[in-house]
């Protein structure tokens, strides 16, 4: 498995520092507000768990599962909701938490969809962004790192459901998925 890894892209130390900083900023911005974090499964679950512990204001959490990828490395552009929210969102300030924004199609769909569901505000937070690959014009309020157009794994991100458990972010060798 380790043979498929090319190199470390973002170290554990750099991830930790960034996540802490983002949590602090979110805590300041949403002070006195009814914040609901929505983790987009599965990739965001580790980032969300760490981020939440750096949020110092009252906060709720829920999860959605969407699918646009299957086991390939290219977005199909079709977003299917596999698991919807348990909570109601009326009057809440929604912050979607994503692991990575690639084409932006997933987040674009979610934000549009939620704006019609009665939330007070709908914004997004992502640990990683691949700006070169953007297809949908989606605005992100909090962003950890811009990264190059490489396929990456670790810290919640998978390739064919594997590698999510790695605690740093790695570039996957091209021959591993080509
Ligand atoms: P988008 O709709 O193209 O922005 O897709 C975003 C989703 O694709 C992310 O939430 C990830 O699950 C997945 N994804 C995009 N790029 C990568 C990558 O480099 N490694 C692992 N998953 C990725
Ligand atoms: Mg994802």
Which residue owns the Cα nearest ligand 1 atom 19? 151
For ligand 1, pick from 43, 65, 162 the residue to mutate: most ligand atoms within 8 Å of CB.
43
pLDDT in tens, 112-135: 888 888 899 999 999 999 999 899
101 lines ligand 1 (CB under 6 A): yes
Distance in angstroms (rounded) separating the CA atoms of residues 97 and 101: 10
Q: What is the pLDDT of residues 63-114, one digit of tens each?
A: 999 887 555 555 656 688 899 998 889 999 999 999 999 999 889 989 988 8
Q: Which residue has the tokens 């997933």?
A: 106
Distance CA 149, CA 138 (A): 18
From the alpha carbon of 130, which atom of ligand 1 is closest?
16
pLDDT of residue 177: 80
Pairing of strands 121-129, 142-146: parallel
- Retrieve residue 31's tokens: 């002070």
Against a cut of 0.85, is the pTM above it? yes
Q: Which residues are catalytic?
A: 102
Indicate which atom in ligand 1 lies nearest the CA of residue 135. 3
For ligand 1, whether the C-beta of 157 sits within 6 Å is yes
Pairing of strands 152-153, 169-172: antiparallel
Q: Whose CA is nearest to atom 5 of ligand 1?
A: 102
Give the mean model confidence (pLDDT) for residues 14-28.
Answer: 98
Establish whether residue 67 lines the binding site of ligand 1, counting it when its CB lies within 6 angstroms of any ligand atom: no
CB of 118 closer than 8 Å to CB of 90: yes
């Amino acid at each position: 498995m380790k043979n498929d890894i090319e190199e470390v892209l973002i170290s554990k130390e750099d991830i930790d520092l960034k996540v802490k900083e983002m949590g602090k900023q979110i805590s300041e911005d949403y002070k006195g507000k009814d914040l609901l974090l929505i983790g987009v499964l599965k990739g965001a679950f580790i980032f969300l768990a760490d981020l939440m512990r750096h949020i110092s204001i009252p906060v709720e959490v829920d999860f959605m599962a969407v699918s646009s990828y299957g086991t390939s490395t290219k977005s199909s552009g079709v977003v299917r909701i596999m698991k919807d929210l348990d909570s109601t969102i009326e009057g809440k300030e929604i912050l979607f938490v994503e692991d990575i924004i690639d084409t932006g199609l997933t987040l674009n769909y979610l934000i549009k969809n939620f704006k019609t569901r009665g939330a007070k505000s709908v914004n997004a937070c992502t640990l990683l962004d691949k700006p070169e690959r953007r297809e949908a014009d989606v605005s992100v309020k909090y962003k950890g790192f811009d990264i190059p157009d490489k396929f990456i794994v670790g810290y919640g991100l998978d390739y064919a459901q594997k590698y999510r458990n790695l605690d740093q972010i790695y570039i996957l060798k091209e021959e591993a998925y080509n």
